[in-house]
Chains A and B, each alone.
Chain A
Amino acid sequence: MKKILCILLLFGSTWTYAAEQAEAIFKQLAPSLYQIRIIDKASGEKSSIGSGFQISADGVVATNYHVISSFARHPAKYRIEYIDDQDNKGDLSLLSIDVVNDLALVKRQVETEMPFFEISQAAPVKGEEIYSLGNPHDLGMIVVPGTYNGLKSESFSDRIHFTGSVNSGMSGGPVVNKETKVVGINVATSGNQIGFLVPHEKLLALYQAYQNDELPDIAQQMQSQLTDYQHQLVTELLESPWQLKNLGYGLVPTIDVPFIRCWGESNADKQDAVMLMVLANCSLEENLYIDSNFYTGSLEMEFRYLQAKKLSDIKFYQLFQRQVSRVMPGNKADKEDVTEFKCQHDIVMPQSQGINNKAIFCTRAYKQFDDLYDVLYLAISVDHHQQALISHFTFAGVSKQSAQSFTKQFMESVTWK
């Protein structure tokens, strides 16, 4: 009982300490913290809001790319506006973006030098108390204390795992340590008390690039970032070991990287099912946000093993043919962003000669970006009478070269035992 009391007391004291600290931090930094609004020019009303913070004396403000994405995509339709802690309003211009790390730099006009957030030079240590600032639900600026939990391992792009509530509207707000130096930027939440932050060095790199280099326009920045991102991703995927796993009598590849995660399911418990179905699904559980109707960078792989139970060959094939005609792309995209899919099909046997597939490959091109495509592949084994192996992937935002290399590797990997 004493122990419990002690723990309770200890908890109480740290709680009040944290709250006091948070208050002090908030007061000191409030003038450099902004609410960022995207204003629809035609209606004059805000279409989305987020947070931002000043990182230089001359008015450079950092925020998330997704906060200002509608302006970046349609500069004629919107304008960007800030509101500071004194309710002063003003316009912001867009300087540069980082789509992959979801960052953007915007700039306000300043007359005299202003206070600003300093970006930390070092990462926090695991367990360190850090403070997230922002503007959730348009309720006014708040501060949320939380804990630094290191980098999320199941993620291709670096993300800090933050234990604390990051809510919508806090996007783009800074996360500072006790020395009020920026260690991260709010970016996403995954439910109760789990938040994700962009590490500070990504912001530092973006700011340095802006200071040192002549930057191309926003569309070109996006093009080169997307091209580099997919190149790095596909290179890492192809260089990592592809391990073959059993799926019924089939062998299917799983790529041994932490950011690809797999799930499985089967209908082995259903006695009345006319065929046994074993399913494995592996995917990259992150994607790149371009705008609210356009996501890219996703990869999904799905494998199905089917075995007929008391079915004739013809009925078995007829039944699962219906399953495969319902394939859809894994990412959201609109008519303005992509073309319609074009497809090809053939009977294909990989070099191992372990399987004979009917293979279908479809692709659609991005309209605003050169040499980026969404691809979709589907193969159905046609060499066993009572068993079938279906292998499928969709990969969004890859170059032709990447798509072809990945498809080749994938096609050569799936086989029978």
Chain B
Amino acid sequence: MEIIIEEVSRGHKVISRDKFLTDHVSIGRAYHNDIILSDPHICPDHLTLEFDGQHWRVKDLDSINGSFLGEGKKSADGHVVNSGDVIRLGKSQIRILFPHHPVSDSISLSPFENLINATKQPAVLIFNVLLFTLITGWLYFLNSPKDINFTQYVVPAAGITLVFAIWPIGIALVSHLTKHDARIWTQLGVCFVFYNLTWVSDFLETVVKFNSSSQSMLAYLMTLLPISLAFILFWLNTYIGFHVSNRRRTAIAAGLTLLLFGGTYLIQLSKKPDFSVRPQFDSTLLTPSFLVTESSSVDEFIDASNKLFNKVDKAAKEKE
């Protein structure tokens, strides 16, 4: 009778898989066994599986640490095996399957997967990393009040690029350590595509802020853009690096996004003084070329200030 025995890790990853066409399988640490496990908590002759013509039955050979079913404390001795049963012996686990055990539907290689793989193409990857470095350098140049030469902004830009490469490399490392495919180039490729998309979203946000008045909700809505980008990036990082269910992947991505933005928000909140004499306002400026909005009149601006006066009146009453 055919039987498939998998050695699985505690994280339910398959370590080895064997198929037998026999009625008797012995498992233990000694070399004469059919399945040899090196776990020191397993006896040289630990257990056997016997086929009695109808069923496979587990027989523990009076091992020191015993054999148990699944995660529980129920002894596996004498158990009639069903396909998919997990038996714990020592600190190891085996899973027993029969040939008719169902498998999940095959996943077609989606265009999406191709898209992700496209980002690791050397040309695409180099282009994205270079683009990121150039934009970083250019912003550094824009913000420096003095005339600076090329190397003075290329060096910090390269440094920032290296710092940003730590994230994809880190994930690849974690994937590798958890016995997944590291896919380091794919992680790097996807991350730098999204870093560049963040510049685009930053720019859009600036344009909207510059054009909208404090009355407009659009500027607030624009903050959703970087949050969504971060979520998608984290989701893709998990998709590339780990084999987990869609639900779990979404939960991980949502958690990371919350950690990033919630953490940043909390840090800002903790730094905020109890009372500040400095006015907080939006001073976003761009060149006239990016000004697309209609101007308000002075009267409209003064009218709008009524709301502001009401707000501070309320604040003055509250704290009295």
341-357 of chain A: CB within 8 A of chain B = 341-351, 356
A90 to B197, CA, bound (A): 77
The interface residues of chain A lying within 8 Å CB-to-CB of B213 are 344-347
Cβ of B313 under 8 Å from chain A:
yes
Taking a contact as CB atoms under 8 Å apart, the answer to whether A328 and B308 are in contact is no
A383 to B215, CA, bound (A): 22
Candidate in B146, B215, B274, B288 with the most chain A CB atoms within 10 angstroms: B288
Known: A315-B142, A339-B315. A376 touches B298 (CB 8 A): no
Identify the closest chain A residue to B279 (Cβ): A341
A385 to B285, CA, bound (A): 12
A39 to B274, CA, bound (A): 30
Cβ of A144 under 8 Å from chain B:
no
A365 to B275, CA, bound (A): 14
Identify the closest chain A residue to B286 (Cβ): A317
Size of the B side of the interface (Cβ < 8 Å), in residues, is 51
Taking a contact as CB atoms under 8 Å apart, the answer to whether A343 and B281 are in contact is yes
Taking a contact as CB atoms under 8 Å apart, the answer to whether A345 and B281 are in contact is yes
Taking a contact as CB atoms under 8 Å apart, the answer to whether A342 and B291 are in contact is no
Known: A333-B277, A346-B304. A384 touches B288 (CB 8 A): yes
Known: A340-B276, A363-B308, A382-B285. A347 touches B315 (CB 8 A): no
Cβ of A324 under 8 Å from chain B:
yes
A346 to B297, CA, bound (A): 10
Cβ of B52 under 8 Å from chain A:
no
The interface residues of chain B lying within 8 Å CB-to-CB of A358 are 210, 285
Choice from A347, A363, A383 contacting B211 with Cβ under 8 Å: A347
Chain B 127-148, CB-CB to A under 8 Å as 1, else 0, gives 0000000000000011101110
Cβ of A362 under 8 Å from chain B:
yes
Taking a contact as CB atoms under 8 Å apart, the answer to whether B291 and A356 are in contact is yes
Taking a contact as CB atoms under 8 Å apart, the answer to whether A344 and B315 are in contact is no
Taking a contact as CB atoms under 8 Å apart, the answer to whether B315 and A365 are in contact is yes
Choice from A314, A329, A373 contacting B309 with Cβ under 8 Å: A373
Cβ of A178 under 8 Å from chain B:
no
Taking a contact as CB atoms under 8 Å apart, the answer to whether B274 and A347 are in contact is no
The interface residues of chain A lying within 8 Å CB-to-CB of B293 are 347
Known: A317-B286, A333-B277. A411 touches B311 (CB 8 A): no
Query: Nearest chain A CB to B124's CB is how many angstroms away?
Result: 28
Candidate in A325, A329, A345, A403 with the most chain B CB atoms within 10 angstroms: A345
Known: A325-B283, A348-B297. A342 touches B312 (CB 8 A): yes
Identify the closest chain A residue to B213 (Cβ): A346
The interface residues of chain A lying within 8 Å CB-to-CB of B275 are 334-335, 340
A348 to B305, CA, bound (A): 13
Chain B 290-316, CB-CB to A under 8 Å as 1, else 0, gives 010111111111101111110111011
A321 to B274, CA, bound (A): 27
> Contact residue range for chain A?
35 or more
The interface residues of chain A lying within 8 Å CB-to-CB of B284 are 321
Query: Nearest chain A CB to B305's CB is how many angstroms away?
Result: 6
Taking a contact as CB atoms under 8 Å apart, the answer to whether B274 and A365 are in contact is no
A378 to B283, CA, bound (A): 10
Cβ of A366 under 8 Å from chain B:
yes
The interface residues of chain B lying within 8 Å CB-to-CB of A364 are 279, 312
Query: Nearest chain A CB to B278's CB is how many angstroms away?
Result: 6
Cβ of B105 under 8 Å from chain A:
no
The interface residues of chain B lying within 8 Å CB-to-CB of A417 are none
The interface residues of chain B lying within 8 Å CB-to-CB of A338 are 316
Taking a contact as CB atoms under 8 Å apart, the answer to whether A367 and B320 are in contact is yes
Query: Nearest chain B CB to A275's CB is how many angstroms away?
Result: 10
87-107 of chain A: CB within 8 A of chain B = none
A338 to B316, CA, bound (A): 7
A132 to B276, CA, bound (A): 42
Query: Nearest chain A CB to B143's CB is how many angstroms away?
Result: 6
The interface residues of chain B lying within 8 Å CB-to-CB of A325 are 283
Cβ of A281 under 8 Å from chain B:
no
Given contacts A321-B285, A408-B298, 5 further A-B contacts (CB under 8 A): A317-B285, A322-B143, A341-B278, A348-B301, A366-B316
Cβ-closest 9 pairs across A and B: A341-B279, A346-B213, A349-B295, A343-B281, A365-B312, A365-B316, A335-B275, A339-B315, A362-B279
A and B contact pairs by CB, cutoff 8 A, 20 listed = A313-B287, A314-B142, A314-B286, A322-B145, A329-B279, A342-B312, A343-B282, A344-B214, A344-B301, A345-B281, A346-B213, A346-B215, A347-B294, A347-B295, A348-B296, A351-B297, A360-B282, A364-B279, A378-B281, A385-B288
Residues of B participating in the A interface, judged by any CB pair closer than 8 Å? 141-143, 145-147, 210-211, 213-215, 274-289, 291, 293-302, 304-309, 311-313, 315-316, 319-320
